Amino acid sequence: MMDYSRYKVATYAIAAILLFVADVAVAHNVSEQDAELIAGKTGWQFVLYVWLGAKHMVTGYDHLLFLVGVVFYLREFRNVAIFVSLFALGHSITLILGVLLDLGVNAYLVDAIIGLSVIYKGFDNLDGFKTLFGESPSERVAVFLFGLFHGLGLATKLRDLGLSDDGLFANLVSFNLGVELGQLAALVVILLLLRTLPRRSRRSKTGAAVNVGLIAAGAALLAYQLALYAAS
Amino acid sequence: MNKTTLVLVTLAAVALGLLIGVGLADRQHGGPAPAVPAPTSLEALNGAPVFRYLKPEDFQGSASRRAGDGPATVGENFTRQDKAWKSETLQIELGPEGDVEYKVFMAEGDSIVFTWQVAGAKVYFDFHAHDDAFGKEFFTRYEKGEAERGAGSILAPYTGQHGWYWRNLETRQATVTLEVAGFYDRIEEAEL
């Protein structure tokens, strides 16, 4: 009976993740409104860009899924802080450099790699690399490297909004600050939700099921972006 | 989790995700891009003297202009038809180096779709139309060349005869199978 109820929770969790991805992916046209907000404004717009940064993080389902995977099996606050900082460092570097250097990377391909990062994290959480290959790649290095790609993804979206050169760097830093604030807010919610899952150990079937769900969601993101890339 | 379970579960999750992702992209993108509508001969001929020789570029220019203009209005692409709908399949025998001409009699505004293919030998074909008001010495050429098959549609720009001249280019017997469907008066073999 105990196992049965856990399966139920896991099924609901997977269904919720997939529905969330589906919903946001289809209704993901917020950037047009954002472009209107930015249009015509020059100089340092601190509040506007902090708000936009936070919004992009909180509505960025791909970043959130990766974040869920990263903190899923972390128990100590110290570890959460280390991993989230590595992720933040990675995406801050490429977010700022990507816009300043005007790196013309393809948004679909970057988002596809971000989908891949979600698959990786789900698989790693299942101990997949250890089980199949005997050892897993360094989690810290992986989080930092994938953080770089997440930052590139943010940079391409910010570039698409049509930024004014006037006050560009200050606005970028403001946007980045907003991203970190949004991430912090999302993190609090994620950690609270994870605590409600029964027995968050590696042996738990619920844990396995949620990470299988992450793999599925990551694959959906990957296929979605690659299909759009092929069609573009 | 043992190896087998891990691999199976992972593959299943990836497959499910790929399906969902492609489905979502398809929904958002609305499937493959629609093909550019083919120009009607009516549009290409509007305002032009009917005996003017039309080059293929005349049609292509029309197609690209239409593609740039966005969706055509309903009136341009829909023609009401009161004539009875017909469809015919003809087997046309072509002796060695023989030639033949078949005509579809159409009133202005009639429309057909057609397809033909030849078995046995290579043929030269000349697809053209004569306006009843001007006689046989004037014609509008749609297409000519050497081919094994052809297909297309006509929206008759004037009352007249629209059809094909075929010549067998080889010393073997050949058979042309012509299928015509749509709104027209009759199909006849023409005197050469």
Residue of B13, B29, B32 lying closest to A216 (CB–CB) = B13
Q: Indicate the helix (H) or strand (E) that contains B149.
A: strand B149-155
pTM given for the model: 0.54
Q: CB-based contact (8 Å) between B16 and chain A?
A: yes
Copy the structure tokens of residue B150: 């052809």
Q: How much is the pLDDT for A19?
A: 63
Q: Do A231 and B25 touch (CB under 8 A)?
A: yes
Mean pLDDT of B15-42: 65
Q: What is the pLDDT of residues A59-87, one digit of tens each?
A: 888 888 999 999 988 878 888 889 899 99
How many residues does this entry show for chain A? Answer: 232
As a whole number of angstroms, the distance between CA A88 and CA A180 comes to 7
Please tell me the distance in Å from B151's CA to the nearest CA on chain A: 29
**pLDDT of residue B51 exceeding 60:** no
Copy the structure tokens of residue A150: 């997440």
**pLDDT of residue B48 exceeding 60:** no
Count CA atoms closer than 13 A to A87's CA, side-chain side.
26
Count CA atoms closer than 13 A to A78's CA, side-chain side.
0
As a whole number of angstroms, the distance between CA A130 and CA B155 comes to 69
Distances (CA, A) of A219 to A18, A141, A222, B90, B151: 11, 22, 5, 54, 43
Copy the structure tokens of residue A195: 């605590």
Q: Where are the alpha helices (DSSP H) in chain A?
A: 2-26, 30-38, 46-58, 61-71, 77-100, 107-125, 128-133, 139-160, 168-196, 205-231
DSSP state of A178: H
Residue pair A220/B21 in contact by the 8 Å Cβ criterion: yes
Q: Do B10 and A128 touch (CB under 8 A)?
A: yes
Residue pair A183/A85 in contact by the 8 Å Cβ criterion: no
Sign of CA dihedral A24, A25, A26, A31: positive
Q: Which residues of A touch B8 (CB under 8 A)?
A: none
Q: How far separated are the first and last CA of chain A, in Å rounded?
A: 50
Please tell me the distance in Å from A173's CA to the nearest CA on chain B: 33
Q: Which residues lie below 8 Å from residue A196, measured CB to CB, with a gap of 6+? A: none
Q: What is the pLDDT of residues A185-201, one digit of tens each?
A: 888 888 888 887 766 56
Distances (CA, A) of A85 to A55, A68, A80, A146: 19, 15, 8, 13
Q: What is the pLDDT of residues A129-177, one digit of tens each?
A: 988 888 888 889 999 999 999 898 888 878 777 677 777 888 889 989 9
Mean pLDDT of B33-58: 44
Q: How much is the pLDDT for B90?
A: 95
Q: How much is the pLDDT for B33?
A: 45
Q: What is the pLDDT of residues B80-130, one digit of tens each?
A: 888 899 999 999 999 988 899 999 999 988 999 999 999 988 899 999 998
Residue of B3, B9, B26 lying closest to A227 (CB–CB) = B26
**ipTM for the assembly:** 0.71
Q: Which residues of A touch B14 (CB under 8 A)?
A: 119, 215-216, 219
Mutate to test the interface with A, among B3, B7, B20, B26 (most CBs of A within 10 A): B20
**pLDDT of residue A37 exceeding 80:** no
Copy the structure tokens of residue A184: 């912090």
Which B residues 27-66 touch A at CB under 8 Å? Answer: 27-29, 32
Q: What is the pLDDT of residues A214-227, one digit of tens each?
A: 999 999 999 999 98
**Using CB atoms within 10 A of its CB, is residue A54 exposed (0-12), middle (13-18) or buried (19+)?**
buried
**pLDDT of residue A11 exceeding 90:** no
**pLDDT of residue B49 exceeding 50:** no
Q: How much is the pLDDT for A28?
A: 43
3-class secondary structure, A126: coil
Residue pair B169/B120 in contact by the 8 Å Cβ criterion: no
Q: A49 versus A117: which is more confidently predicted? A: A117
Q: Which residues of A touch B19 (CB under 8 A)?
A: 223
